[in-house]
């Protein structure tokens, strides 16, 4: 970026906007990956586990296509959406949706941890 792109002050407004928007896409997909990596717990039911795995693949691949869009699309101007953006955003939404479906009903069977009152010594 530093060597191949002129300073942002010299860019036309539409090209500058495209860099900013693609940057947000890359940051958003990175945040989804970090959150999923921190909080994912594989389900016991085989169909839920399969949905989680199927949802993780597009979520992991999404930043690759969004990074490609970040480097290729801004030069196209305000109408510069290509297959790279679509291959980044659509799988991200589908992957998150599959994880959501896999987690439905999980909270019904979950038991809440007991709070222990330290002064009384009782749960």
Asked if residues 111 and 100 have their Cβ atoms less than 8 Å apart, the reply is: no
Calpha distance 88→34 (Å, rounded): 16
Considering only CA atoms, which of 93, 110, 114, 88 is closest in space to residue 41?
Answer: 110
Domain boundaries, the chain: 8-103
pTM of the model: 0.68
What percent of the chain shows pLDDT beyond 90? Answer: 31
Q: What is the per-residue pLDDT across 70-102, written as a single tens digit (0 to 9) for each?
A: 777 666 666 656 777 778 889 999 999 999 999
**Confidence at 8, pLDDT banded by 50, 70, 90:** low
pLDDT digits (tens, 9 = 90+) for 23-40: 788 899 999 999 998 988
pLDDT for 12 equals: 72
The C-alpha torsion from 6 through 16 and 18 to 58, rounded to 10°, is 60
């Amino acid at each position: 970026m530093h060597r191949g792109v002129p300073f942002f002050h010299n860019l036309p407004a539409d090209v500058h906007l495209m860099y900013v928007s693609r940057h947000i896409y890359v940051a958003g997909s990175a945040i989804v990956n970090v959150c999923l990596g921190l909080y994912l717990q594989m389900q016991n039911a085989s169909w839920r586990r399969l949905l989680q795995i199927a949802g993780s693949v597009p979520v992991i691949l999404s930043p690759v296509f969004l990074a490609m869009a970040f480097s290729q699309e801004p030069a196209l101007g305000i109408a510069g959406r290509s297959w790279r953006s679509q291959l980044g955003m659509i799988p991200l939404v589908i992957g998150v949706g599959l994880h959501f479906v896999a987690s439905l009903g999980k909270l019904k069977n979950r038991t809440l941890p007991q709070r222990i009152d330290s002064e009384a010594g009782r749960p």
